[in-house]
Amino acid sequence: MDPLRQPPSPCSPRPSSPRTQSCEMLGYVGIEAVLDQLKIKAMKMGFEFNIMVVGQSGLGKSTMVNTLFKSKMWKSTLPGLGVPTPKTLQLQSVTHVIEEKGVKLKLTVTDTPGFGDQINNDKCLRPLDIEFLQRLCQTVNVVPVIARADSLTIEEREAFRRRIQHNLRTHCIEVYPQKCFDEDINDRILNSKIRERIPFAVVGADREHLVNGRCVLGRKTKWGIIEVENMAHCEFPLLRDLLIRTHLQDLKDITHNIHYENYRVFRLNKSHVLPRGPGWVNLAPGPAPSPASPQATPRTMKVCRWTQDNSDDEC
């Protein structure tokens, strides 16, 4: 057995469970009660979710977050009100606890003030965006959007989406949901539809307006009301469903099991401070790929943990 083991790359398949045989039960045991236990525990402890929004000033990042959670999560700074543009790229975070029907969500939103404010990109991704996304997709789940989509016609919006999709493919930028993480045919069907629409064309608004006798979230213009939750107006419902209603737990799982583990191994490999002995971790770069073999990812490395008697390894 090779004394070294290779950890999962940012887009490697999830480890599959070993095959087990089904066993016929003679009567009721109560295994299903585990679901109730998990629900009770989750209701008590709540959930945590972290989001970082990146983009130029004035794109409506704060409004989009407020619309996403229908809360005043972040106070926006409107241009032209005498407030100076941030001169620092220091990250800014704010944390709130949101409760809905007894379920608590501890939400942390991180902003990146001043990102790319001095660079113009009218047609496609900027070189800064490309380099940033290439690094970021190795560490977190990336979900790109087209902000202020109401400033584009339907034809312009679709053409812009195709250009962004082409840029992402050309520069090997893996955005969420990644194809390699589709676990079954149902995931593949659902996620394929999502991938076709990414980047989502969204409009943010945190004010309600009366339309045909009902209150809707939207933005009022001289042409009428742009309804945020109307698919005929924008794709904000697709973004909300992805981040909250259908894939929130999957986003957390991939972050913890894939991205964080890769980062942890990378830092351990870089530090070289672990002493030899029980639980010693030997970290070494993977072998160079042969010309006939596929290229290895830059962050790939091999790991080995030895048992206390050193008679067996876990590779």
Answer yes or no: is pLDDT of 64 > 60. yes
pLDDT digit string (tens) for 66-87?
999 988 877 655 444 455 545 4
Q: What is the pLDDT of residues 157-214, one digit of tens each?
A: 999 999 999 999 999 999 999 999 998 999 999 999 999 999 999 999 988 999 888 9
Q: What is the spatial distance between Cα 243 and Cα 250, in angstroms, rounded to a whole number?
A: 9
Query: What whole-number distance in Å separates Cα of residue 139 and Cα of residue 39?
Result: 30
Pull the structure tokens for residue 63: 């409004």
Q: Which of 159, 158, 164 is nearest to 144 (CA)?
A: 164
Distance between CA atoms of 30 and 175, rounded to whole angstroms? 41
User: Are 217 and 204 spatial neighbours (Cβ–Cβ below 8 Å)?
Assistant: no
Please, what's the b/e burial string for 107-145 (b: 16 or more CB within 10 A of its CB; e: otherwise)?
bebebbbebbeeeeeeeebbeebbebbeeebbebbbbbb
pTM attached to this predicted model: 0.74
Residues 6+ apart with CB under 8 A from 78: none
Where does residue 235 rank: exposed (0-12), middle (13-18), buried (19+ CB within 10 A)?
buried
**Tens of pLDDT along 187-203?**
999 999 999 999 999 99
Whether the predicted pLDDT of 57 surpasses 80: yes
Tens digit of pLDDT for each residue in 120-162? 666 678 888 899 999 999 999 999 999 999 999 999 999 999 9
SS3 108: strand
